[in-house]
Structure 1
Amino acid sequence: MPTTSRPRLNTSFHIHMVSDSTGETLMEVMRASVAQFEHTNPLEHLYALVRSPRQLDRVLEEIEGYPGVVMYTIVNSELRRDLETRCADLGVPAIAILDPMLATLSTYLGRAMASRAGAQRALDADYYHRMDALNFAMAHDDGQGDNFENADIILLGVSRTSKTPTSIYLAHRGYRAANIPLVRGVPAPEFLFSLRNPLIVGLTASPERIVQIRRNRLLTLNEDRSTDYIDDFAVRDEIVEAKRLYAKHGWPNIDVTRRSVEETAAKIINMLNEKRGRK
């Protein structure tokens, strides 16, 4: 009797990259490593410029909420110890990807390393441009900050449409990206309607996907009460309201349900280039 092979399913897992610099080294090593394993789908979490205990605490909250593999490049000994200790307590593996290379070079050269955060990045114009974009993204996360006219890109969307990770990824590519949450029943900020320079893009996703992500988020916070935040009909109304806003003002929108952050960012960059080309 002939046998039928079962289709291989993609293995999804969270991978957290914690860096005191831009995180590009981590991203490159992670992707080169994951590429060696077929049928894997890494859910990427990148934390750049982590240089204070407060920043690390926010990272650790995310790691606790979405356990997985942790990769890091941090030279500050206290931050390293705190990260390693907490990861051990949580039972998640933490990999210092540069340690073997640095230890070997130190022995061979007969000298200690400089222990400077981000020392591997040349301080050229491109570096400073990306640092400026990262600082802008972090200062304009979740509707914070001002001077939105100076943004290259503004992302809109209801909660859990990947606004922040997409903004950070765009910043790593050198684009000044801001993101603003849309809340059901609350008008969008008036200043949006008078902006001329930024490309405004709406992010959306299927109601089922949004509800799933929100439920998981609440579970990590030990919150199990039923609210409109995870009500199927309420979420559907949120998304419809957001789409109407995008259509009313002619803002392009992207469904991120089945897109990675990289795919979403690539589409946005193409949109921005088209906008600038028309100008």
Structure 2
Amino acid sequence: MAAPASSNDQKQQRRTFFHVHLVSDSTGETLSTLLKSVAARFPSAKPLEHVASLVRNHTQLDSVLARIEQSPGLVMYTVVDPGMRRRLEVKCAELQVPAIACLDPILNALADYLGLEQASQAGMQHELDEDYFRRIGAIDFTLAHDDGQNTWNLEAADVVLVGVSRTSKTPTCMYLANKGIRAANVPLVPGVDPPPELDSLRRPLVVGLTANPDRLSQIRTSRLSNLGSEDRAQSYTDTDGVREEVRNAKRMFVRNEWPVIDVTKRSVEETAAKILTLLSIRRGGEG
């Protein structure tokens, strides 16, 4: 007699798989991000992504149309060329699959509001312009100032994140760097004095990151297990010790009047969004 299906197996059986074709004359990053955002609203549905990026001529489009015909499904596209758009839309209509020009509503609304014409060049958002080099510079800066490195130069940062181990300082800094924000982070280590440079910072926005001690202890235990370093677990993961670390960190944040973000239930993106809001307010206050 077969064993009854587990709840996980049942969930897997109920999952709906569907094809999604992401067609872009640029990198396709916008479409991929948009798909992830909307698919998250349908937990039982699993998109099977077919990515076609840098589609800029009709020969490339022929291959895309053949793939759509072979695996019909939702088509999301960002294509500037009118002739290629028309061919894609006609083919989708023939196959009776929806084709969504994802940026059109926003572009049309912005054009109407500004009273300006849209540029017709593909991939303009990825040109090697001032913004591009600003982001590259921010990434270089963030890598050089990760985990307490080069604290002598913290005044050049836009944002400095401070917190105990495993409060998502590094991934949050990297996310901010990809937005063009020069982000540094300084870890608070038991028994080690914070760098004195923190006390004299004037230009950067300094933000304290904290988290639930029990959750931090679990994360640290899991990390040490993955690294095969369980022998350090007693001092690094002890719940009482972690609580004391978090208490001391919070006292430091209050003493310096730094804004504090609890990352326990926040994704890196949510934490970064909060920091960007704080930075915008700060910069607005500075005129």
In structure 2, the CA distance between the partners of 1:166 and 1:27, relative to structure 1 (3 Å rule), is farther
Asked if residue 135 in structure 1 is aligned to residue 140 in structure 2, the reply is: yes
- Find out whether 1:185 has 2:191 as its counterpart: yes
Moved more, 248-257 or 264-273: 264-273
2:224 to 196, 209, 218: 218
**CA RMSD between the two structures:** 3.0
User: Which residue does 2:275 correspond to in 1?
Assistant: 268
Higher-Rg structure is 2
Is the 1:184–1:241 Cα contact (8 Å) retained in structure 2? no
Q: 1:175-231 CA distances to partner (integer Å, 9 max, x unpaired)?
A: 111001100121110011111100110000000111111111111112223421000
**Cα gap change, 1:108/1:202 in structure 2, threshold over 3 Å: closer, same or farther?**
closer
Q: Distance in 2 between matches of 1:109 and 1:27?
A: 19
The one-letter amino acid of 1:244's match is R
Q: 2:241 aligns with which of 194, 213, 234?
A: 234
Q: What is the rounded CA distance, in whole Å, between the counterparts of 2:40 and 2:279 in structure 1?
A: 34
Q: Give the corresponding residue for 1:199.
A: 205
Taking the aligned partners of 1:38 and 1:125, their CA distance within structure 2 comes to 36
Query: What's the offset of the Cα at 1:105?
Result: 6.4
- Mapping for residues 38-53 of structure 1, pairs under 5 Å: 38=41
- Where 1:35 maps in the other structure, the secondary structure is helix
SS of alignment partner, residue 209 of structure 2: strand
Matched to 1:170, the amino acid is L
Q: How does 1:102-117 map to 2 (within 5 A)?
A: 108=60
Separation in structure 1 between the aligned mates of residue 28 and residue 138 of structure 2, nearest angstrom: 18
Residue 266 to residue 154, structure 1, CA distance change in 2 (3 Å): same
Which one-letter code corresponds to 2:148 in the other structure?
G
Counterpart of 1:80 in structure 2 is: none
Cα distance change on mapping 1:109 and 1:30 into 2, 3 Å: closer
Q: Could you say what secondary structure the match of 1:197 adopts?
A: coil
Q: 1:104 to 1:261 in 2, by over 3 A?
A: same
Q: Percent sequence identity over matched residues?
A: 48
Q: Distance in 1 between matches of 2:189 and 2:30?
A: 32
Distance 1:105 1:223, change over 3 A: farther
2:168 counterpart of 1:167: no
Tell me which residue corresponds to 2:157: 151
Q: Hey, what does 1:257 align to over in structure 2?
A: 264
1:156/1:181 contact within 8 Å kept: yes
Q: 2:131 aligns with which of 122, 126, 129?
A: 126
Normalised to the residue count of structure 1, the TM-score between the two structures is 0.62
Cα pair distance change 1:28/1:135, threshold 3 Å: farther
Question: Hey, which of these two has a bigger chunk of helix by percent?
Answer: 2
Structure 1: segments with no counterpart, 5+ residues: 1-5, 10-23, 41-94, 111-117
1 CA distance for matches of 2:29 and 2:225? Answer: 29
- Structure 1 pair 214/27, CA: closer, same or farther in 2 (3 Å)? farther
Q: Is 1:130–1:175's contact at 8 Å kept on the other side of the alignment?
A: yes
Please give the alpha-carbon distance, in whole angstroms, between the structure 1 residues aligned to 2:169 and 2:224.
Answer: 18
Structure 2 regions of 5+ residues with no counterpart?
A: 1-6, 12-26, 44-48, 63-122
Shift in CA distance, 28/151, structure 1 to aligned 2, threshold 3 Å: farther
Equivalent residue, structure 1, for 2:73: none
Question: How far apart in 1 are the matches of 2:142 and 2:130?
Answer: 18
Query: Cα deviations across residues 126-154 of structure 1 (Å, max 9, x unaligned)?
Result: 11111111111111111112421110100
- Amino acid of the residue matched to residue 179 of structure 2? R
- Kindly state the Cα deviation for residue 29 of structure 1 after the two structures are TM-superposed: 1.2
**Within 1, Cα distance between the matches of 2:251 and 2:36?**
42
Distance 1:203 1:28 in 2: 31
**CA-CA distance at 1:261 after TM superposition:** 1.1
* Structure 1 counterpart of 2:94: none
Distance across 1 between alignment mates of 2:124 and 2:228:
40
Give the paired residue count.
195
